[in-house]
Amino acid sequence: MSDKVTDREREARTAAGSAEALRIEAADRILARRLSPDWNEENQRELDAWLEDTAHRIAYLRLDTTWDRAGRLEAFRPFKRPVPARAPQSRRPLIFKFAAAAVAAAAILASSVYLSQPAMRTYATAVGERQTITLTDGSTISLNTNSVLKLSANANARLAVLERGEAFFQIQHDALHPFIVTAAGHRITDLGTKFIVREESDALKVTLIEGRARIETAGNAAKKRATDLTPGETVLASADTLRKTMRPVARLKNEASWQRGVLVFEDATLADAARELNRYNTQKLVIADAGVAKLKFDATIPTNGIQTFTRVAQQVFGLKIERRDGEVIVSR
């Protein structure tokens, strides 16, 4: 192992000052950030400082994007390996727990495929993370911060269960094999679409950006309600109600901006923005008084941009910022 390091050093020396040396360093930093089990705030600060240099930043972006793209290789996991080496017997209870939810969808499809082949894969993101899953049919699912999604897709059917958080679906339509998403018991059937599903504290929010989709509520047969969505429509579904709102499609792109790592606020209150940012960060923003909470602003803030937020608060509104116990308190 040690001669590997010497190799590395030799390579770095011969390439010193060149683009190649920069690439080696950038790759090391990306691997450290992506793979270190104990990556901390200080490491992040040090990385941010390094990235202030534009030459560093370019080399980093190029390789970091490559790492993200390589992440799509994961698509080969559920499909080429129906029984992954890492799914030992001990995982079965989890699968059976899921089976109840799967039964509903399987029944609709008049297929027992999920029961005979319970190859559900779980995707999870930590706070501040996001992940894109590419299916072999070209459909993609982006998983936002702090979310859990289970996915089963094979030649017969496609099914996703959003257990927590938010996901953006871009689904290739296939009339014979509809893509079904269940979340909080509600069921969304795509008819060739782009849509966002987000779990809120008291309701499920489904926003359709393109195409068509149908949503059915979780309630029992008597209470069950269903509606078709057209682009621009958002539905809030609770146990037995559906509430629909309509906005211009152009405004909706802000809802999906997290996929670019930013949040777009238009005429938002500081309270709204803080609540949204708190979904992406372990450090939590606390707005100390009601007057402050109501202040409105427009801004585009990186999902990890607690500091951008505090700068807006300080510089635009002249507010005080206090940090204590993992909380950032904003007051007059």
Of 289, 296, 323, 327, the one binding other proteins (CB under 8 A) is: 296
Query: Considering beta carbons, is residue 136 or 245 the nearer one to other proteins?
Result: 136
Q: Which stretch binds other proteins (CB under 8 A): 211-219, 225-233, 271-279, 291-299?
A: 291-299
Question: Per CB under 8 A, does 128 bind other proteins?
Answer: no
Q: Shortest gap between Cβ of 267 and other proteins (angstroms)?
A: 8
Of 131, 134, 144, 147, the one binding other proteins (CB under 8 A) is: 134
Question: Per CB under 8 A, does 290 bind other proteins?
Answer: no
Q: Shortest gap between Cβ of 48 and other proteins (angstroms)?
A: 10
Question: Per CB under 8 A, does 86 bind other proteins?
Answer: yes
Give just the sign of the alpha carbon dihedral 171, 175, 181, 187: positive
Whole-angstrom CA distances from 301 to 28, 74, 208, 295 are: 27, 30, 24, 16
Question: Per CB under 8 A, does 126 bind other proteins?
Answer: no
Question: Per CB under 8 A, does 50 bind other proteins?
Answer: no
Contacting residues for 197 by C-beta, under 8 A, at least 6 apart: 162, 166, 167, 169, 181, 183, 188, 204, 205, 206
Q: Which stretch binds other proteins (CB under 8 A): 222-230, 274-282, 313-321, 323-331?
A: 313-321
Q: Shortest gap between Cβ of 110 and other proteins (angstroms)?
A: 27
DSSP string, 102-168: HHHHHHHTT--HHHH----EEEE--TT--EEEE-TTS-EEEE-TT-EEEEEE-SS-EEEEEEESEEE
Question: Per CB under 8 A, does 27 bind other proteins?
Answer: yes
DSSP string, 251-283: HHGGGGGGGGTEEEEEEEEHHHHHHHHHTT-SS
Of 63, 204, 206, 229, the one binding other proteins (CB under 8 A) is: 63
Contacting residues for 108 by C-beta, under 8 A, at least 6 apart: 180
Question: Per CB under 8 A, does 316 bind other proteins?
Answer: yes
Question: Per CB under 8 A, does 176 bind other proteins?
Answer: no
Q: Shortest gap between Cβ of 32 and other proteins (angstroms)?
A: 8
Query: Considering beta carbons, is residue 111 or 307 the nearer one to other proteins?
Result: 307
Q: How far apart are CA 327 and CA 324, in angstroms?
A: 5
* Structure tokens that stand for 173 in this block: 């339509």
Q: How far apart are CA 321 and CA 286, in angstroms?
A: 10
- Find, among 191, 11, 162, the residue nearest to 98 by Cα: 162
Q: Shortest gap between Cβ of 254 and other proteins (angstroms)?
A: 14
- Find, among 331, 248, 241, the residue nearest to 290 by Cα: 331
Which spans of this chain sit near other proteins (rule: CB under 8 A)?
1, 4-5, 7-8, 18-20, 22-24, 27-28, 30-31, 35, 37, 54-55, 57-59, 61-63, 65-67, 69-77, 84-86, 134, 136-140, 170, 172, 260-262, 267, 295-302, 305, 307-308, 311-312, 314-318
